[in-house]
Amino acid sequence: MPAPPDTMIDNEVYSRIADTWWTEDSVLCLLRHHLNPCRFDYFEEVLEQRLGKKLANCRVLDVGCGGGFLTEEFAKRGCEVVGVDPSAESIEVARAHAAQSGLDITYHVGYAENLPCDDASFDVICCCDVLEHVQDIEQVIADASRALKPDGVYCFDTVNRTFISWLFYIKIAQEWSLTSYIPENLHDWRMFVRPKELETLFQNNGMAAQDFIGMGPNINGIRVVRELRRLKTGKIDFRGFADQMKTIRTRDMACSYMGYATKV
């Protein structure tokens, strides 16, 4: 499943704004304060409560780690953690912040399609905000399967390819001048991934999907647009926006969703 040849997605944006990964008033702070608590809580629950793994005994690979938001959460739980990202600028920021925080994390510049690691070397692979950005998603899943130990766990989140995701992530968040808040061409709707497609990719590459669950805001759509207008007009900053709109688990997978698969 290669990306469309005429895709307009701009993954270089993460290098251009890498110095804002840990800045409170930046679009990237939304990942830290708006998304991260929901998805890390879910992954922690899956690993410890559902699967009975002790995090402190796990070796974790964070694929597409960016500035290290999820990477640091795993490290704080005592995991041996490795972070990989194609953006050298983001990796530099992640290393500096880990050192500043007293966390022992190994970071590498690398790609999800060709992970810089040995076969069967990780108990857990975390892949968030990545699958909707890659050029060859099947190769990404295949290489993750290669890197996972037997019975290893693949934790992920991504965006569904639906009318709702097109309306929100493309039109409202990216294109409409009255509400847009993310960089131009950050997403290409054609690269979003339906859960059934992802389930098939897992099956074809030695993994089994175990759970899919929706992610969404804790406020209704009208209020989301209202808060975006406040953001656009300077009445609140990005941190204020994140505080107003937390991500929660939901049964509705029409927009964003997360889940996990296990190595067969």
Number of domains forming the structure of the chain: 1
Question: For residue 2, is it within any domain?
Answer: no
Question: For residue 6, is it within any domain?
Answer: no
Tokens 């998603």 correspond to: 137
Helix axes 69-76, 36-44, angle to 10 degrees: 40
Average of pLDDT values for 70-80? Answer: 98
Question: For residue 144, is it within any domain?
Answer: yes
Question: For residue 163, is it within any domain?
Answer: yes
**Domain holding 24: CATH number?**
3.40.50.150
pLDDT of residue 110: 98
Enter the tokens of residue 5.
């040849």
Q: Which tens digits make up the pLDDT trace of 203-239?
A: 999 999 999 999 999 999 999 999 999 999 999 999 9
Residue type (1 letter), 142: A
Q: Within its chain, how far is the Cα of 167 from the centroid? A: 20
Q: Which tens digits make up the pLDDT trace of 45-57?
A: 999 999 999 999 9
Q: Can you give the pTM of this predicted structure?
A: 0.95
Tokens 């701009």 correspond to: 10
Question: For residue 34, is it within any domain?
Answer: yes
Question: For residue 239, is it within any domain?
Answer: yes
The answer on pLDDT for 1 being more than 80 is no
Q: Which tens digits make up the pLDDT trace of 165-177?
A: 999 999 999 999 9
In DSSP terms, 61 is beta-bridged to: 82, 125
Question: For residue 58, is it within any domain?
Answer: yes
Residue 101 lies in domain: 13-263
Cα 108 to Cα 121: distance, rounded to the nearest angstrom: 15
